[in-house]
Amino acid sequence: MARVVELNSYPIKGCAGVPSADAELTPAGIAHDRTFLIVDPDGVFRTQRTLAGLAVIEPRVDDTRLELRAPGVDLLSIELRPDGPRTPVLLHGNPFTGIDQGDEVAGWITAVAGRPCRLVRVPPDHDRVVDGDTVGTSAYADSCAVHVVSMRSVDDLGERIARGGGVAVPVDRFRANIVVDGWPAPYTEDLLRRFEVGDVELGFNRFAIRCVVTTVAQGSGRRDGPEPLRTLAGYRRHPDGGVSFGVKFSVLRPGKVSIGDELTVSAWGDPPWQS
């Protein structure tokens, strides 16, 4: 039986994750997950794909305030702007809107990132629909609301990397929301189609296609690739392109999830490739 061993949210897309023992899942995923987006002066999103150093920015957020920490700079605490004039933003070429959080936080992030940045938050009337096998919604995530990875898969990948002369990568490279353990076989998460955990029910949306962010050491914000992409390319090529590791899910029933909760699977499927 698989159980939850980690719960992580990423309040600012591209910045450090926030671990927790319990999490409330909304229709858009863990509360505050990818609620904020760093953009350039033209409103185009920035992440570790182009600014690996964003990994060292540690956010803490509640309903009214945002705190930011990073090495070598003072802590910043600001009052959030939950609503206000909308500004256009582009996320993977898709147009959305955001609420700018002001010059102070923009200057702080710019100083850490070394490039001009603004910070926006998802507006309360955000109505994004994410297509997939199970339609869902999310804030500023790449696609669907909840990303699941199993430790057995991470271990198997690490063993393959080591056999090739490389160094295994930790699970934080994959920036998963829910990490599970307990299955004897790796990539069992690929077979999940519908399951319950805690008070929540989740439905399969799509397989997670990995990018260069997986080559960034999350603790230092430095690239130390080509792993894990080099090894994944040898055995995890998705038929539609790219390499796959982890699975995205839509929230069918919101609620609370805690570390230690067991997964109860109501529907299984088959992956579209051979691992």
- Please count the structural domains in the chain: 2
Is position 35 within any domain? yes
**CB of 229 within 8 A of CB of 59?**
no
200 near 253, Cβ under 8 Å?
A: yes
**Chain segment 220-231, per-residue pLDDT in tens:** 999 998 999 999
Report percent pLDDT > 90 for the chain.
96
Give CA–CA dist 105/151, Å, rounded: 36
pLDDT band at 274 (very low <50, low <70, confident <90, very high): low
Q: What CATH number is associated with residue 8?
A: 2.40.33.20
Which position has the token pair 């109501």? 266
- In a 13 Å sphere around the CA of 114, the CA atoms on its Cβ side amount to 6
Q: Choose one of 101, 121, 141: the last residue of a domain.
A: 121
The residue segments making up the domain with residue 194 are 3-25+130-268
C-alpha closest to that of 29 among 260, 257, 250: 250
Query: Does residue 223 lie in a domain region?
Result: yes
Residues 66 and 194 in one domain: no
User: In terms of domains, do 262 and 154 share one?
Assistant: yes
Last residue within a domain, chosen from 121, 141, 163? 121
Give the tens place of pLDDT for each residue, 132-175: 999 999 999 999 999 999 999 999 999 999 999 999 999 999 99
Provide the β-strand partners of residue 26. Answer: 29
The pLDDT tens digits for 56-65 are 999 999 989 9
